[in-house]
């Protein structure tokens, strides 16, 4: 019996989150730019050397939009600004940023590749866990070398061969400002080469381009978060049910439209975000013209009620191989979809294993594994369709020379092997005999990770994030009709961005990175923008971190009554002696551009009044801001009333205030009420009668300050929790303070 053909489907998924804040226009993280320098161009350019090796590249539309934005030349990227700024002009904050963020690269393969870069890295590490400790050890020359090498380390191998770049690498250190300017200008050339390279390869037939829903959402959960419990019965779900199939449809439609605009051809295929599928998603995609989708072997196994059994070497038994190495046709109620399912083990070998091997040995091992995996099907005389699908960018940081030698050896072996056809998914579907398609009537909802959605939903942080999204979506529905078209469009765009999978990837226990705070802040900023753009005020909870890994503050409780003079000035240490006190914690770092405006707060009572004080880290931002004192009055564990004292500030001057109770205005400065005082000088001081607040002995105040500009929170203290003030006699307060020591 003649052996069948082995059709190999390689799909590289190119994706980065949407890092741009649409309101400020600023990129909050630089990874689109950095991976565009290092991965996107070279991955497709390499195929010019191997014309018989056809592949799929799945490019997320929001990634394309960000690359195009960088190519426009009008972008706001603080990471770019620091790398480009003359070293002699770096401020102390700039230097701290440089030492914190310009070493975010693979230590061995990227930093270690350049001896001077490595020595600077070791200099920072020797100073201790806080990179700021190394500031005094770095010279202007050190900073300039860091600025140059931190960019070159991300350059694609093709551009490293540029004679001018090669000369800089050989120079090694002692770079000039001209060198620095050249390295930054070279980035424009690289960024502008990326998208044309994909268009050219697709026009030659070397690759097939497919898409992902626009902002990379987990489509089944966007359709209905309750689907999470279909995959894992009993999974804790958000208290507010998010069900927006219309948003899922918009994410798909927009992806197809934008892809056609960018590449000139409408895609027929889709790798749904994180391989996440359900029957509802397949129907939506089919109705919009998608002809094929891909996901993981775990979803196939659960849908067929078949356990994909592997031996101790990782190879499937015959029954499992015959099921996995095929193309399936799913048929719903009037809809159909072609499906391929990735070999999880072989995909993971490339993603996580081969980087630690010699390139030649790794390529040979991969070829051997592909053939052996498919052999049970081939030996029966049938054709085998084996799908390898994985991230097309992050893995290469761990490979020598960005994985180019490994890929060249692998592609060379594929091109010369007569038994293997490396083709696109659409080509494979065309070559499949009609009677050979597997049949599916329904899918168990799931993703490429354990055939469920637990990474994105179920953990307390995940569910909180979904609840906040639900509230913002409901707010949009209730208020969009009162806004103009541009406001509605921008607010809806922010919602679609917040529906992306990347935010919840970092919430919960599964994944953490040096940028956890950055992702948390950006997610909450996108949701806050929905309210602001529609003329509302973001809920206070969006000013507080969702992520539980953030450092939790500690408080000094009130130890004695205070009676400060309310004049906005620091007159005497004794004015606030005995007050509860909280100082901001700036350890753990935050991204460049995050303003630390609020430094500390004090609060306390005497027999009649509640006093609050806000200290600033430096000058207030220019323009109009609002410093809001948030008060919650508790009796035991129950909140009995809430107050907001809004101090309106213009160009550093207090222009007025208003007091709200449970959301309703009750007093304003123009009323000149007795007993209420507020003053702003070097500090903000506020005095409120406890009778006005309805406080009595035994109650507790929870106190928190938030500084807003255009209704967006700029900074807050505390970041989490609140400062507690007990309404009690002075001797009781002293006892509480003593017990807490």
Tens-place pLDDT, residues 24-50: 899 989 999 999 999 999 999 999 999
In this predicted structure, the answer to whether residue 661 has a pLDDT above a threshold of 80 is yes
Strand extents, DSSP E, 15-93: 55-59
Band of residue 588 on the pLDDT scale cut at 50, 70, 90 = very low
Taking the C-alpha atoms of residue 95 and residue 76, their distance in angstroms, rounded to an integer, is 19
Residues 366-382, mean pLDDT to the nearest whole number: 95
- Residue 722 vs residue 66, higher pLDDT: 66
673: region left, alpha or beta (phi > 0 left; psi from -120 to 50 alpha): beta
In this predicted structure, the answer to whether residue 589 has a pLDDT above a threshold of 60 is no
- Residue 562 vs residue 55, higher pLDDT: 55
Q: Do 492 and 585 sit in the same domain of this protein?
A: no
- Residue 572 vs residue 684, higher pLDDT: 684
Q: Do 703 and 619 sit in the same domain of this protein?
A: yes
pLDDT value at residue 523: 93
Please say whether the beta carbons of 690 and 608 come within 8 A.
Answer: yes
Q: Do 600 and 711 sit in the same domain of this protein?
A: yes
In this predicted structure, the answer to whether residue 467 has a pLDDT above a threshold of 50 is yes
Taking the C-alpha atoms of residue 383 and residue 379, their distance in angstroms, rounded to an integer, is 9
Band of residue 557 on the pLDDT scale cut at 50, 70, 90 = confident
In this predicted structure, the answer to whether residue 707 has a pLDDT above a threshold of 90 is no
In this predicted structure, the answer to whether residue 587 has a pLDDT above a threshold of 80 is no
Q: Do 581 and 504 sit in the same domain of this protein?
A: no
Answer yes or no: is 701 within a domain. Answer: yes
Please say whether the beta carbons of 695 and 702 come within 8 A.
Answer: no
Report the range out of 45-49, 331-335, 603-607 with the highest average pLDDT: 45-49
Residue ending a domain, choose from 491, 522, 543: 543
Chain segment 708-719, per-residue pLDDT in tens: 876 656 777 886
Comparing 10-14, 351-355, 629-633, the range with the smallest average pLDDT is 351-355
Strand extents, DSSP E, 308-369: 328-331, 336-342
In this predicted structure, the answer to whether residue 739 has a pLDDT above a threshold of 50 is no
In this predicted structure, the answer to whether residue 1 has a pLDDT above a threshold of 70 is no
Residues 6 or more apart from 547 whose CB is under 8 A from it?
461, 506, 507, 516, 517, 519, 520
Residue ending a domain, choose from 150, 168, 203: 203
Residues 248-265, mean pLDDT to the nearest whole number: 97
pTM to 2 decimal places: 0.76
What's 504's domain CATH number? 1.20.1430.10
Mean pLDDT of the chain: 90
In this predicted structure, the answer to whether residue 658 has a pLDDT above a threshold of 80 is yes
Answer yes or no: is 690 within a domain. Answer: yes
Answer yes or no: is 475 within a domain. Answer: yes
Band of residue 592 on the pLDDT scale cut at 50, 70, 90 = very low
Please say whether the beta carbons of 417 and 409 come within 8 A.
Answer: no
Q: Beta strand 438-440 with 700-709: parallel, antiparallel or unpaired?
A: unpaired
Q: Could you write out the DSSP letters of every residue in 538-604?
A: --GGGGS---TTSPPP--BPP-S------SSS---GGGSTTSEEEE---TT---TT----EEEEEEE
Q: Do 595 and 720 sit in the same domain of this protein?
A: yes
Q: Beta strand 207-210 with 292-296: parallel, antiparallel or unpaired?
A: unpaired
Residues 536-559, mean pLDDT to the nearest whole number: 74
In this predicted structure, the answer to whether residue 107 has a pLDDT above a threshold of 90 is no
DSSP 351: I
Q: Which two tokens stand for residue 10?
A: 């390689």
Q: Do 654 and 506 sit in the same domain of this protein?
A: no
pLDDT value at residue 542: 94
Residues 97-116, mean pLDDT to the nearest whole number: 92
Residues 6 or more apart from 112 whose CB is under 8 A from it?
118
Q: Do 519 and 635 sit in the same domain of this protein?
A: no
Instruction: Determine which helix (DSSP H) or strand (DSSP E) holds 737, and give its type and residue range.
Output: helix 730-739
Band of residue 131 on the pLDDT scale cut at 50, 70, 90 = confident
pLDDT value at residue 652: 85
In this predicted structure, the answer to whether residue 551 has a pLDDT above a threshold of 50 is no
Taking the C-alpha atoms of residue 504 and residue 522, their distance in angstroms, rounded to an integer, is 12
Answer yes or no: is 262 within a domain. Answer: no
Q: Could you check whether the bond before residue 43 is cis, i.e. omega within 30 degrees of 0?
A: no
Q: Do 167 and 111 sit in the same domain of this protein?
A: yes
- Residue 57 vs residue 557, higher pLDDT: 57
Residues 608-629, mean pLDDT to the nearest whole number: 88
Domain that residue 122 falls in: 31-54+67-203
Q: Do 36 and 139 sit in the same domain of this protein?
A: yes
Distances (CA, A) of 568 to 19, 162, 653: 39, 60, 11
pLDDT value at residue 741: 43
Neighbours of 244 (CB within 10 A): 21
710: region left, alpha or beta (phi > 0 left; psi from -120 to 50 alpha): left
How many structural domains compose the chain?
Answer: 3
pLDDT value at residue 395: 87
Band of residue 558 on the pLDDT scale cut at 50, 70, 90 = confident
What's 595's domain CATH number? 2.60.40
Comparing 53-62, 159-168, 571-580, 674-683, the range with the smallest average pLDDT is 571-580
Chain segment 480-539, per-residue pLDDT in tens: 999 999 999 999 999 999 999 999 888 877 676 777 788 899 999 999 999 999 999 999
Taking the C-alpha atoms of residue 298 and residue 452, their distance in angstroms, rounded to an integer, is 9
Taking the C-alpha atoms of residue 199 and residue 456, their distance in angstroms, rounded to an integer, is 33
Answer yes or no: is 688 within a domain. Answer: yes
In this predicted structure, the answer to whether residue 284 has a pLDDT above a threshold of 60 is yes
Cβ density class 520-551: b for 16+ within 10 Å, e for less: bbbbbbbbbbbbbbbebebebebbbbbbbebe
Q: Do 117 and 163 sit in the same domain of this protein?
A: yes
Band of residue 3 on the pLDDT scale cut at 50, 70, 90 = confident
In this predicted structure, the answer to whether residue 109 has a pLDDT above a threshold of 70 is yes
Among 649, 267, 227, 597, residue whose Cα is nearest residue 425? 267
Considering just the CA atoms, what is the radius of gyration of the chain in Å? 29
Residue ending a domain, choose from 154, 183, 203: 203
Band of residue 192 on the pLDDT scale cut at 50, 70, 90 = very high
Q: Which two tokens stand for residue 225?
A: 């978060």
Residues 261-274, mean pLDDT to the nearest whole number: 96
pLDDT value at residue 344: 92
Q: Do 43 and 116 sit in the same domain of this protein?
A: yes
pLDDT value at residue 517: 81
Answer yes or no: is 359 within a domain. Answer: no
pLDDT value at residue 117: 97
Answer yes or no: is 469 within a domain. Answer: yes
In this predicted structure, the answer to whether residue 329 has a pLDDT above a threshold of 90 is yes
Tokens 């950006």 correspond to 522
Taking the C-alpha atoms of residue 362 and residue 395, their distance in angstroms, rounded to an integer, is 14
Band of residue 736 on the pLDDT scale cut at 50, 70, 90 = low
Q: Do 600 and 687 sit in the same domain of this protein?
A: yes
In this predicted structure, the answer to whether residue 553 has a pLDDT above a threshold of 50 is no
Answer yes or no: is 538 within a domain. Answer: yes
């Amino acid at each position: 019996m003649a052996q069948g053909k082995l059709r190999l489907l390689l799909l590289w998924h190119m994706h980065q989150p949407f890092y741009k804040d649409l309101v400020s226009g600023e990129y909050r993280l630089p990874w689109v730019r950095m991976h565009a320098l290092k991965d996107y161009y070279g991955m497709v350019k390499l195929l010019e050397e191997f014309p018989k090796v056809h592949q799929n590249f799945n490019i997320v539309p929001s990634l394309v939009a960000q690359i195009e934005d960088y190519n426009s030349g009008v972008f706001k990227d603080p990471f770019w600004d620091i790398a480009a700024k003359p070293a002699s002009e770096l401020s102390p904050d700039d230097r701290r940023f440089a030492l914190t963020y310009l070493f975010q690269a693979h230590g061995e393969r990227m930093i270690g590749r350049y001896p001077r870069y490595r020595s600077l890295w070791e200099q920072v590490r020797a100073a201790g866990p806080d990179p700021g400790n190394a500031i005094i050890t770095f010279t202007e020359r050190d900073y300039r070398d860091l600025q140059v090498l931190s960019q070159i380390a991300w350059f694609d191998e093709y551009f490293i061969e540029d004679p001018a770049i090669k000369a800089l690498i050989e120079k090694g250190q002692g770079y000039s400002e001209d060198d620095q300017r050249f390295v930054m200008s070279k980035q424009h050339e690289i960024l502008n080469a990326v998208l044309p390279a994909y268009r050219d390869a697709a026009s030659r037939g070397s690759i097939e381009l497919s898409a992902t829903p626009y902002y990379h959402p987990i489509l089944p959960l966007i359709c209905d978060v309750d689907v999470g419990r279909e995959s894992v019965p009993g999974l804790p779900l958000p208290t507010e049910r998010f069900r927006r199939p219309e948003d899922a449809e918009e994410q798909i439609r927009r992806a197809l439209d934008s892809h056609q605009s960018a590449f000139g051809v409408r895609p027929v295929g889709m790798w749904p975000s994180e391989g996440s599928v359900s029957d509802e998603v397949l129907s939506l995609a089919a109705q919009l013209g998608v002809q094929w989708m891909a996901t993981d072997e775990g979803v196939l196994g659960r849908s067929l009620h078949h356990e994909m059994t592997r031996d101790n070497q990782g190879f499937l038994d015959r029954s499992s191989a015959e099921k996995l190495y095929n193309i399936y046709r799913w048929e719903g109620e009037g809809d159909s979809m072609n499906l391929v399912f990735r070999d999880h083990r072989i995909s993971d070998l490339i993603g996580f294993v081969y980087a630690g091997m010699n390139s030649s040995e790794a390529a040979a091992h991969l070829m051997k594994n592909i053939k052996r995996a498919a052999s049970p099907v081939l030996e029966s005389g049938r054709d085998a369709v084996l799908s390898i699908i994985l991230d097309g960018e992050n893995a290469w940081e761990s490979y020598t020379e960005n994985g180019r030698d490994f890929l060249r050896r692998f592609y060379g072996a594929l091109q010369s092997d007569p038994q293997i056809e490396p083709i696109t998914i659409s080509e494979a579907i065309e070559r499949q005999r009609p009677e050979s398609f597997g049949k599916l009537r329904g899918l168990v909802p799931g993703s490429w990770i354990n055939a469920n959605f637990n990474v994105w939903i179920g953990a307390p942080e995940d569910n909180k994030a979904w609840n906040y999204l639900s509230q913002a979506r409901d707010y949009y529905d209730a208020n969009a009709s009162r806004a103009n078209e541009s406001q509605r469009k921008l607010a809806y765009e922010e919602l679609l961005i917040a529906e992306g999978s990347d935010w919840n990837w970092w919430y919960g226990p599964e994944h953490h990175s040096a940028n956890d705070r950055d992702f948390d802040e950006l997610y909450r900023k996108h949701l806050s923008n929905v309210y602001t753009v529609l003329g509302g005020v973001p809920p206070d909870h969006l000013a507080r971190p969702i992520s539980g890994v953030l450092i939790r503050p500690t408080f000094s409780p009130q130890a004695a009554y205070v009676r400060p003079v309310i004049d906005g000035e620091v007159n005497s240490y004794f004015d606030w002696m005995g007050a509860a006190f909280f100082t901001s914690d700036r350890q753990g770092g935050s991204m460049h551009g995050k303003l630390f405006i609020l430094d500390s707060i004090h609060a306390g009572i005497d027999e009649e009044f509640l006093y609050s004080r806000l200290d600033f880290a430096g000058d207030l931002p220019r323009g109009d801001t609002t410093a809001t004192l948030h008060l919650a009055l508790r009796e035991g564990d129950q909140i009995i009333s809430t107050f907001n004292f809004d101090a309106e500030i213009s160009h550093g001057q207090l222009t007025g205030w208003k007091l709200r109770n449970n959301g309703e205005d009750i007093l304003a400065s123009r009323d000149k009420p007795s007993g209420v005082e507020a003053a702003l000088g070097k500090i903000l001081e506020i005095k409120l009668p406890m009778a006005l607040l309805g406080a009595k002995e035994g109650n507790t105040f929870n106190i928190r300050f938030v500084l807003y500009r255009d209704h967006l929170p700029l900074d807050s203290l505390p970041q989490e929790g609140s400062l507690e003030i007990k309404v009690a006699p002075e001797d009781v307060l002293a006892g509480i303070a003593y017990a807490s020591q």
